[in-house]
Amino acid sequence: MKFQIKHKMEGRIRVHLEQGSMTCREADLVCAWLEQAAFVQRVKAYPRTGDVAVWYRGDRKAVLKRLGEFHYEIEGLAERVPEQSGRSLAMHYQDRLIETVLTKAATSFLLPAPVRAVYTTVQAVRYIAKGIRSLIARKLEVEVLDATAITVSLLRGDFKTASSVMFLLKIGEILEEWTHKKSVDDLARSMSLQVEKVWKKAGDQEVLVSVRDVQPEDEIVVRMGNLIPLDGVVQSGEAMVNQASLTGESIPVWKVKDAIVYAGTVVEEGEIVIRITGISGSTRYEKIVHMIEESEQLKSSVEGKAAALADRLVPFSLGGTILTWFLTRNVQKALSILMVDFSCALKLAMPIAVLSAMREAGQYQITVKGGKYLEAVAQADTLVFDKTGTLTEAKPRVACVIPFGGKAENEILRTAACLEEHFPHSMATAVVQEAKRRGLQHEEMHSKVHYIVAHGIASSIGEDKVVIGSYHFVFEDEKCRIPENEEEKFQEIPDEFSHLYLAISGVLAAVICIEDPLRPEVPEVIADLRKNGFKNLVMMTGDSHRTAAAIAARIGVDSFDSEVLPEDKAYFVKKEQEGGHKVIMIGDGINDSPALSAADAGIAISSGAAITREVADIMITGDGLNSLVPLRQISTGLMKRIQRNYRFVIGFNLGLILLGVAGILMPATSALLHNCSTLYIGMSSMTNLLKDGAAEQEKE
């Protein structure tokens, strides 16, 4: 790409692209290309002027070379850059603000007084109409106050005050809408999860391919616990599909042949073959934006209280205006009350504070799906941890494979990996990765795979039934037996590992020992969570009592429960809630889903099953549990901020009303101060709650 250097200094350079102005998409591509270079610290593009500013380390020539190599058709670049960057949103609202200010200046200084009066009257129609519609609907809302103030000013011939009030109202509307849209946009982009691999039908076989390689009319297989990556139509099979992430409905929907399924939903139960109909990358984002804006699930109780209080105060403001005029017969004093309302600030500040806290949580690699869940985290006193994949590392390793019945170790591992790769779980992943490490390739040699939650997998290879899973599943449910003369070998299996049991035709074929090391940060996180107000920290696991007791002692939880089933975890959560406790559940597996749903706030680990991520209310997208402490701090800080906002809004606006009634402030001045305070409270609510600088600041 050709460009000219406009300005340069040590560590910073600004260039002008020969093409001139850029579209928002082109600006995003330029920034992404430059930011991929290790020596580039920061990039800012100016689409209107075609300029790009680059902050860098080292030699300037490397930056110039990188710029020279850029073109918009670089292979793979467009796919790596999200369609929604927020740049076009910012430009849209910047243009609206500039247009509003220029229009106000032009009408104030260029139009003659009679023409300005007519223009102001025409502009007032919109605000007066809003007030009338509110009255027709039998609602006394802030629109009634605005309409009354503007109408009274016009009737008095005070066109300057009416024009100033409308200008301030329009500026406020634009800024309020901008801050809300930006917060929703930031949140939606963080929630737009991507699926990297899918099982594609290729004749009678299933092939694991990149989702980018899937085209319309291709058929993919989606099994229990997995995310549906693209829109499509069910070709065969039946499944219960959880659509809560898109529609907000909590009850799964039964999908059969010819039913339509949507990207971002999850198969809770069953298995379906889907014919792909859409591969648009923006579909998921747009649906999430709609869900965020429409779902009542997002609203915390404090937001609801703020909205209700704002509406209740409108009649008092209107009544105070009438009473002031009746007692003083002074229109200006009465108007001073109309110029000030509590509704704007209360309805703006609370949602913005919540959305900002959700955005800040994203800086700590936490995705929060609604304000009510931050409120729950702030109020919770009980925290329940799953063990495997949550307290332990997300990537357990196979320590050893112990074959039985004369089986070959590698052949047994090949069979286990063939079954386990169909279902996302940390222990299953360990088996698959060990097979890859040993170079064990395999074809799909089994029949349909059945997953039994918290137990294991069952399938058939030829005439032989194959099962793999827990001791309870293999030996008690499936009644498998240990080969003759190998009981002693079975008893000598190391106790320090987790065990997967593989049986073929009812006979134990191997025990796969899984080394599942504890996450190194867990003891410190547990201690910090206790310092931040949690009274009861609990670990629940399907492992043996011996293993659970050893881990519980190492990490310092208050209690633990072992050999539990999914329903046991959910029952514990509900029992704690019945005792008056607020409960948070943290897990990563399909078997954690019932407890995550039952908890006041369910937190999922991103490396876990897709259904866990969808069912959960909060997701840790980073590697580790360190984010839990800032999540708690952000949540408690949010509740304190909301209370401060309440006090400020009520106190400041009440002061304006009293000064107006006393005749100290004119109506236009009251309106200006009121709108400025509303914008101040809105902007201050967007600042980060944690001041320690640990969170990575957003790029401009």
Residue with tokens 């002027």: 49
**429-438 contact pairs (CB < 8 A, 24+):** 429/395, 429/396, 430/395, 430/396, 430/397, 430/398, 430/514, 431/398, 431/500, 431/512, 431/514, 433/395, 433/397, 433/398, 434/397, 434/398, 434/401, 438/410, 438/413
What does the buried/exposed string (b/e) look like for 78-108 if buried means 16 or more CB atoms within 10 Å of the residue's CB? eeeeeebbbbbbbeebeebeeeeeeebeebe
Region 102-106 average pLDDT? 90
* Amino acid 217: pLDDT: 87
Quick one: pLDDT band at residue 191, thresholds 50, 70, 90?
low
Q: Which residues contact 360 (CB under 8 A, 6 or more apart)?
A: 634, 688, 689, 690, 695
* Position 247 pLDDT exceeds 60: no
Out of 456-470, 490-504, 609-623, which region has the weakest mean confidence (pLDDT)?
A: 609-623
Region 347-353 average pLDDT? 74
Quick one: pLDDT band at residue 393, thresholds 50, 70, 90?
confident
Query: Where is pLDDT greater, at 611 or 545?
Result: 545
In angstroms, the Cα distances linking 127 to 109, 338, 524, 579 are 23, 14, 57, 51
Query: Where is pLDDT greater, at 636 or 349?
Result: 636
Residues 80 and 210: beta-carbon distance below 8 Å: no
Quick one: pLDDT band at residue 319, thresholds 50, 70, 90?
confident
* Position 680 pLDDT exceeds 70: yes
Region 637-641 average pLDDT? 91
* Amino acid 494: pLDDT: 81
Q: What is the DSSP letter of 392?
A: B
Q: What are the backbone angles phi and psi of residue 222, rounded to the nearest 5°?
A: -125, 125
What is the rounded distance in angstroms from the CA atom of residue 266 to the CA atom of residue 599? 20
Quick one: pLDDT band at residue 694, thresholds 50, 70, 90?
very low
* Position 444 pLDDT exceeds 70: no
Region 214-218 average pLDDT? 85
Question: What's the mean pLDDT when you consider all of the chain?
Answer: 81
* Position 520 pLDDT exceeds 50: yes
- Residue 172: left if φ>0, alpha if ψ -120 to 50, beta else—which one? alpha
Out of 131-135, 319-323, 560-564, which region has the weakest mean confidence (pLDDT)?
A: 319-323
* Amino acid 562: pLDDT: 85
What is the rounded distance in angstroms from the CA atom of residue 684 to the CA atom of residue 349? 9
* Amino acid 192: pLDDT: 55
* Amino acid 699: pLDDT: 36
Out of 76-90, 182-196, 528-542, 633-647, which region has the weakest mean confidence (pLDDT)?
A: 182-196
Quick one: pLDDT band at residue 672, thresholds 50, 70, 90?
confident
Q: Which residues contact 5 (CB under 8 A, 6 or more apart)?
A: 13, 14, 15, 64
Question: Could you tell me how many helices (H) and strands (E) the chain has, helices first?
Answer: 24, 24
Q: What is the DSSP letter of 50?
A: T
pLDDT in tens, 21-78: 888 888 888 988 898 888 988 898 888 889 999 999 888 899 999 999 998 888 777 7
* Amino acid 700: pLDDT: 34
Residues 563 and 544: beta-carbon distance below 8 Å: yes
Task: Give the up-direction half-sphere exposure of residue 213: CA atoms within 13 A in the CB hemisphere.
Answer: 11
Q: Output helix, strand, coil percentages for the chain, rounded to the nearest 5.
A: 50, 20, 30
Region 407-427 average pLDDT? 82
689: nearest Cα among 640, 650, 625, 617: 640
Region 565-578 average pLDDT? 89
376: nearest Cα among 603, 568, 647, 192: 603
Region 117-121 average pLDDT? 92
pTM confidence score: 0.63
* Amino acid 296: pLDDT: 41
* Position 299 pLDDT exceeds 60: no
* Position 402 pLDDT exceeds 80: yes
